[in-house]
Amino acid sequence: MTVLSDLLSALAGGSVEVVDLTAPLSEATPVIQLPPPFANTRHFALEEISRYDDRGPAWYWNDISTGEHVGTHFDAPVHWVTGREGVDVSQVPARRLVAPAVVIDKSEECADDPDFLLTVEHVEAWQAEHGSLPDGGWLLYRTGWASRAGDAGRFLNANETGPHTPGLAPDCARWLAQTAPILGIGVETVGTDAGAAHSFDPPFPCHAFMLGAGKYGLTQLANLERLPVTGAVLIASPLPIVRGSGSPARVLALVVR
């Protein structure tokens, strides 16, 4: 098919670039810390099976253990009680995993205010400049938080009053979930909701409204500054974990240079 051979030529010639939006996955990957009495997820870990030794002379391999919601990952509708009748991560149609993506950049605002919240007005102003949000595509929310991902303390940014990381205002989450044509929202932070969102009304509104509407989430994305405001194609690849609420994912973007 000519469109695919054209794509391969563009990749080979460098006029289409593959941008990796995935954070490296290791023991050091920051993990969300919910306040008591809530249970928390485990960190990613490798356990060596053999490494060219008595246990396997010619091969190296590991077992892994991880939470579903660790590092760059995909939130499926069943992750939230509002989406409990929705699909698990194995049931997300492959067709939905290749989709357009646009970027709203609030990194300057978030540098001044770690509790910055995206509002309906911000998204409407973006649309006045750049056009409608993509039908069946991702809204990627650039906050600059990925630059902190190498330091779990700065990334989670918690003090005695709890975590302070940017997110969406409850009204904006409801509006995006119920009226926007988007497939989901992608963020740089440890969750699609703000650090303080446990105290919002409703609690964790981005999870509640988006997943309740059958939409998806992508968390802890990297390299969003390398994407154009509009025009990227995003490929998200969560593992098809049967009954899974989400999965670590490799997330790639195709970008015209």
The residues that are catalytic are 79
Residues 45-84 that bind ligand 23J (CB under 6 A): 69, 75, 79
Of 21, 29, 44, 69, the residue at the interface with Mn ion (CB under 5 A) is 69
C-beta of 13: minimal distance to ligand 23J in Å?
Answer: 38
What is the DSSP code (8-state) at residue 213? T
With contacts defined by CB under 5 A, name the span among 41-49, 147-155, 208-216, 241-249 that binds Mn ion: 241-249
Q: Is residue 204 near ligand 23J by the rule CB under 6 A?
A: yes
| Closer to ligand 23J by Cβ: residue 9 or 199 | 199
| Closer to ligand 23J by Cβ: residue 78 or 110 | 78
With contacts defined by CB under 5 A, name the span among 8-16, 104-112, 146-154, 245-253 that binds Mn ion: 245-253
Partner whose binding site includes residue 174, from ligand 23J, Mn ion, none (CB under 5 to 8 Å by kind) = none
Q: Is residue 88 near Mn ion by the rule CB under 5 A?
A: no
Q: Report the alpha-carbon distance of residue 71 to residue 247 in Å, rounded.
A: 9
Instruction: Mark 153-187 as b/e (b = at least 16 C-beta within 10 Å).
Output: eebbbeeeeebbbbbbbbebbbbbbeebebbbbbb
> What phi and psi values does residue 214 have, to the nearest 5 degrees?
80, 15
Q: Report the alpha-carbon distance of residue 29 to residue 14 in Å, rounded.
A: 31
C-beta of 231: minimal distance to Mn ion in Å?
Answer: 27
Calculate ∠ Cα 101-203-133, nearest 5°.
Answer: 20
| Closer to ligand 23J by Cβ: residue 204 or 209 | 204
* Count of CB atoms situated within 10 Å of the CB of 200: 19
3-state secondary structure of 126: helix
| Closer to Mn ion by Cβ: residue 170 or 244 | 244
DSSP-based helix, strand, coil % in the chain, nearest 5: 30, 30, 40
C-beta of 77: minimal distance to ligand 23J in Å?
Answer: 12
Backbone conformation region of residue 28, classed left if phi is above 0, alpha if psi is from -120 to 50, else beta: alpha
Q: Is residue 88 near ligand 23J by the rule CB under 6 A?
A: no
Q: Report the alpha-carbon distance of residue 43 to residue 23 in Å, rounded.
A: 14
Partner whose binding site includes residue 32, from ligand 23J, Mn ion, none (CB under 5 to 8 Å by kind) = ligand 23J
Bridge-based pairing of strands 138-142 and 184-187 is: parallel
C-beta of 152: minimal distance to ligand 23J in Å?
Answer: 15
**Which residues contribute to the site for Mn ion (CB under 5 A)?**
69, 75, 246
**Which residues contribute to the site for ligand 23J (CB under 6 A)?**
32, 34, 69, 75, 79, 191, 193, 204, 207, 219
